[in-house]
Amino acid sequence: MRELQRQDYTELQIEGALETIFGVDTTLIDDGTYLVVESDSEIVACGGWSKRRTLFGGDRWTRREDDLLDPAVDAAKIRAFFVHPAWARRGVGTLLLESCENAARAAGFRRFEMGATLTGVHLYQRRGDLGPGKYPDHR
């Protein structure tokens, strides 16, 4: 975050987010919906999808909504993506996004909603994932 997001956020905003919003979300891990991309046994990216209402925030986030979504009517949440700066713009985020979408589809979801930082929006816009259609519930 400190490197890749500095063009979109001030240092104060980044540090504030690291202290409050960002962090490990063990619910994603426990649900088996958090994925990692490794190279030479090192994690180079991570991200997930959720079958719960919470759209963002780690374990420290106090406004969590952990009730389960109904795949027949609700959108799976695409969230918590992080890419190591050395691996940015090398297709890792796209690989991770496609893997999350496929896993959510396999769980019965047909719609997706995502929470993205300003920095992440660039990836989704390049892929054509924002706007009406694929992610109709984007924010």
Q: How many residues does the chain have?
A: 139
Q: pLDDT for 14-51, tens place per residue? A: 877 777 777 788 999 999 999 999 999 999 999 999 99
Q: Is the pLDDT of residue 137 over 80?
A: no
Confidence class of residue 139 from pLDDT cuts 50, 70 and 90? Answer: very low
Confidence class of residue 70 from pLDDT cuts 50, 70 and 90? Answer: very high
Give the model's pLDDT for residue 138: 44
- The CATH architecture one would assign to domain 11-127 is 3-Layer(aba) Sandwich (3.40)
Each domain of the chain, given as residue ranges in start order, spans 11-127
Going by C-beta distance under 8 Å and a sequence separation of 6 or more, which residues neighbour residue 123? 93, 94, 97
Integer Cα distance of 7 and 4 in angstroms: 7
Give the model's pLDDT for residue 31: 97
Q: pLDDT for 71-95, tens place per residue? A: 999 999 998 888 899 998 899 988 9
* SS3 state of residue 118: helix
Closest alpha carbon to 91 in 133, 129, 126, 49: 126
Integer Cα distance of 90 and 99 in angstroms: 16
Helix, strand, coil fractions of the chain, as percent rounded to 5? 30, 20, 50
E-assigned strand segments in 4-128: 34-39, 42-50, 76-83, 112-114
